[in-house]
């Protein structure tokens, strides 16, 4: 079991996702920005290793406009050695890596342009993991997409498009239940037909629930992961104390977390802590379950 957090480290003074606007696009600006982002990513990974955090989501903004038509620079070639060095560090320290393309990646969109943009976004994320020379335990996660008032057809469209994806993308690609459109049963049904591994988001499940017990769901989700895909990944959050209803918390509720960990002790998996204060919550989570033997199993 590894515990991690997404994209941003709030202790370090750097960001691996510097703001970069379309109208400022130029090669002269692009190269130093990407250099800065990669250097920062390296620092974050070192911080994580020093703090025993061995799971991390790399930001989709690592290469600004990485999938946009404006991009005319061969960043893959230019930064190849740097990516390789970072990848070596990741492998040497057994860090698990994931990526999560944003809300604009909608593989099952009924708009053809959105669909094409989504493909480009998946290729861009795949390029990064390939450049890092990671294996298929690194994962690219999206939700299923839009419903368009016809869930059955939208699921069919997702499956058709998923099946047509290049193998290079499929090796990394997994889906996750979302908080309002496609619940965990929908994802499991898609997995049955495609073999795609499913990430279980415990908190989305509370918002977009099914009648099944969490433990039963967990069991089915874990079965969708093959050994070569690595340990199953679980996304964890809890409700915002003030804002409530399906809004991510600002800080971790340790008792809630411990309850989840204790209630799932028959299974091993990696946990992404999706809480606003980032590495702080991940560290608290690790410290709260130091005695759990799953934390000490190398995988």
Q: Which residues lie near DNA (CB under 7 A)?
A: 6-8, 15, 17-19, 21-24, 59, 61, 64-68, 102-104, 106, 109-111, 113-114, 117, 121, 145-148, 180-181, 243, 246-248, 274, 276
Q: Least distance to DNA from the beta carbon of 227, Å? A: 28
Rounded Cα distance between 91 and 71, Å, is 29
The 3-state DSSP class for residue 58 equals: strand
HSE-CB for 279 with a 13 A CA cutoff = 19
Kindly tell me which of 22 and 164 has the beta carbon lying closer to DNA: 22
Cβ-proximal residues to 68 (8 Å cutoff; 6+ apart), any chain: 22, 120
Kindly tell me which of 8 and 288 has the beta carbon lying closer to DNA: 8
The 3-state DSSP class for residue 209 equals: coil
Cβ-proximal residues to 121 (8 Å cutoff; 6+ apart), any chain: 60, 67, 101, 104, 105
Kindly tell me which of 144 and 289 has the beta carbon lying closer to DNA: 144
Kindly tell me which of 92 and 113 has the beta carbon lying closer to DNA: 113
Q: Least distance to DNA from the beta carbon of 73, Å? A: 14
Kindly tell me which of 17 and 177 has the beta carbon lying closer to DNA: 17
Residue 236's nearest CA partner among 218, 211, 260, 263 is 260
Kindly tell me which of 67 and 137 has the beta carbon lying closer to DNA: 67
Rounded Cα distance between 235 and 204, Å, is 9
Q: Least distance to DNA from the beta carbon of 111, Å? A: 5
Q: Least distance to DNA from the beta carbon of 19, Å? A: 3
Find out whether 184 and 143 touch, Cβ atoms under 8 Å: no
Residue 66's nearest CA partner among 98, 97, 15, 104 is 104
Strand partners, 96: 55
Q: Least distance to DNA from the beta carbon of 23, Å? A: 6
Q: Tell me how far apart the 2 most distant CA atoms of the chain are, in Å.
A: 55
Q: Least distance to DNA from the beta carbon of 234, Å? A: 15
């Amino acid at each position: 079991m590894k515990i991690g957090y997404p994209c941003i480290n709030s202790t370090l003074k750097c960001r691996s996702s510097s703001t970069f606007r379309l109208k400022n696009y130029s090669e002269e600006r692009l190269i130093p920005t990407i250099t800065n982002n990669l250097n920062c990513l390296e620092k974050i990974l070192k911080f994580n290793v020093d703090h025993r955090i061995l799971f991390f989501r790399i930001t989709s903004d690592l290469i600004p406009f990485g999938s946009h038509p404006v991009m005319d620079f061969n960043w893959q070639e230019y930064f190849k050695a740097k990516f390789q060095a970072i990848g070596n560090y990741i492998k040497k320290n057994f860090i698990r890596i994931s990526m999560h393309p944003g809300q604009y990646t909608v593989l099952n969109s009924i708009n053809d342009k959105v669909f094409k943009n989504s493909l480009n976004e998946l290729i861009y994320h795949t390029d990064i993991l390939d450049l890092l020379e990671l294996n298929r335990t690194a994962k690219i996660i999206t939700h299923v997409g839009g419903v368009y008032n016809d869930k059955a057809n939208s699921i069919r469209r997702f499956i058709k498009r998923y099946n047509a994806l290049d193998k290079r993308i499929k090796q990394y690609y997994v889906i996750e239940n979302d908080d309002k459109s496609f619940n965990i049963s929908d994802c499991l049904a898609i997995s049955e037909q495609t073999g795609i591994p499913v990430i279980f988001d415990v908190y989305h499940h509370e918002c977009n629930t099914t009648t099944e017990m969490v433990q039963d769901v967990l069991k089915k989700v874990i079965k969708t992961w093959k050994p070569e895909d690595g340990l199953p990944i679980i996304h964890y959050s809890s409700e915002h104390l003030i804002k409530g209803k399906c809004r991510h918390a600002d800080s971790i509720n340790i008792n809630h977390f411990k309850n989840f960990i204790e209630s799932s002790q028959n299974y091993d998996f990696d946990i992404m802590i999706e809480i606003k204060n980032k590495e702080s919550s991940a560290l608290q989570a690790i410290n709260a379950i130091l005695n759990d033997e799953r934390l000490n199993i190398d995988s």
